[in-house]
Chain A
Amino acid sequence: MDIKDVENLASLARIELTEDEKNDLLSDMESILGYIKQIERPAADVDDFEANQNVTNVWREDVLVDENSSQASKFSKELIIGQFPDKQDGFLKVKKIL
Chain B
Amino acid sequence: MIDLENLTITKARKALDEKVFSAVDLASAYLAEIKKKNGGLNAYLEVYDDVLEQAKRADEMIAKGESYPLLGIPLAVKDVILIEGRKVSAASKILENYTASYDATAIAKLKKQGAVFLGRTNMDEFALGSSTENSAYGVTKNPSDPNRVAGGTSGGSAAAVAALMALGALGSDTGGSVRQPASFCGVVGLKPTYGKVSRYGLIAAASSLDCIGPIAKNTEDAQIIFKAIYGHDALDSTSVADNFYVKSSPKKELVIGVPSDLINQEGIDPSIKENFEKVVKTFESLGYKIKDIKLPNCIALYYIVNFAEVSSNLARFDGVRYGLHKDGKNLLEDYLLTKDAGFGKETKRRILLGTYVLSAGYYDAYYGKAQVARESLRQEFKELFSEVDLILTPTSPVPAWKIGEKSDPLSMYLADIFTITANIVGVPAMSLPSGFMETEGLPAGKAGKKLPLGIQLMSAHGQEDVIFEAGKKFEAIREK
Q: Is A bound to B?
A: yes
Using a CB–CB cutoff of 8 Å, the interface residues on chain A facing chain B are: 6, 9-10, 12-17, 21, 24-25, 28-29, 31-33, 35-42, 44, 46-47, 49, 52-53, 55, 58, 60, 71, 73-76, 79-80, 82-86, 92, 94-97
| Complex: chain A residue closest to B337, CB-CB | A16
Cα A55 to Cα B462 in complex, Å, equals 14
Cα A42 to Cα B311 in complex, Å, equals 25
Please tell me if the beta carbons of B349 and A39 are within 8 angstroms of each other in the complex: no
Chain A residues whose CB sits within 8 angstroms of the CB of B366 once the complex forms: 36-37, 39
Contact of B349 among A12, A29, A75, A95 (CB under 8 A): A29
Q: How far is the CB of A23 from chain B (nearest CB, A)?
A: 13
Contact of A14 among B102, B318, B325, B365 (CB under 8 A): B318
Please tell me if the beta carbons of A41 and B369 are within 8 angstroms of each other in the complex: yes
Residue B237 interfacial (CB < 8 Å):
yes
Contact of B352 among A29, A36, A44, A83 (CB under 8 A): A29
Chain A residues whose CB sits within 8 angstroms of the CB of B51 once the complex forms: none
| Complex: chain A residue closest to B414, CB-CB | A35
A32 with B353: in contact, given A39-B366, A41-B373, A92-B320 (CB under 8 Å)?
A: yes
Please tell me if the beta carbons of B320 and A15 are within 8 angstroms of each other in the complex: no
Contact of A16 among B101, B330, B336, B378 (CB under 8 A): B336
Q: How far is the CB of B73 from chain A (nearest CB, A)?
A: 24
Chain A residues whose CB sits within 8 angstroms of the CB of B27 once the complex forms: none
Cα A2 to Cα B300 in complex, Å, equals 22
Most buried by B among A16, A33, A74, A76: A16
| Complex: chain A residue closest to B314, CB-CB | A13
| Complex: chain B residue closest to A85, CB-CB | B325
A35 with B410: in contact, given A52-B378, A76-B85 (CB under 8 Å)?
A: yes
Please tell me if the beta carbons of B300 and A35 are within 8 angstroms of each other in the complex: yes
Please tell me if the beta carbons of B349 and A28 are within 8 angstroms of each other in the complex: yes
Cα A9 to Cα B101 in complex, Å, equals 33
Please tell me if the beta carbons of B337 and A9 are within 8 angstroms of each other in the complex: no
Please tell me if the beta carbons of B355 and A9 are within 8 angstroms of each other in the complex: yes
A32 with B303: in contact, given A13-B315, A46-B375, A95-B331 (CB under 8 Å)?
A: yes
Q: How far is the CB of B250 from chain A (nearest CB, A)?
A: 24
Residue B319 interfacial (CB < 8 Å):
yes
Contact of A44 among B330, B376, B408, B410 (CB under 8 A): B376
Most buried by B among A29, A35, A55, A73: A73
Residue B48 interfacial (CB < 8 Å):
no
Chain A residues whose CB sits within 8 angstroms of the CB of B351 once the complex forms: 13, 15
Chain B residues whose CB sits within 8 angstroms of the CB of A38 once the complex forms: 300
Please tell me if the beta carbons of A75 and B234 are within 8 angstroms of each other in the complex: no
Cα A17 to Cα B315 in complex, Å, equals 16
Mark interface residues in B97-119 (1 if CB within 8 Å of A CB, else 0).
Answer: 01111100000000000000000
Please tell me if the beta carbons of A29 and B336 are within 8 angstroms of each other in the complex: no
Q: How far is the CB of A41 from chain B (nearest CB, A)?
A: 5
Cα A94 to Cα B301 in complex, Å, equals 39
Chain A residues whose CB sits within 8 angstroms of the CB of B355 once the complex forms: 9, 12-13
Chain A residues whose CB sits within 8 angstroms of the CB of B100 once the complex forms: 79
Contact of A97 among B234, B331, B372, B409 (CB under 8 A): B331
Among B250-307, those with CB < 8 Å from A are 299-301, 303-304
Q: How far is the CB of B305 from chain A (nearest CB, A)?
A: 10
Residue B446 interfacial (CB < 8 Å):
no
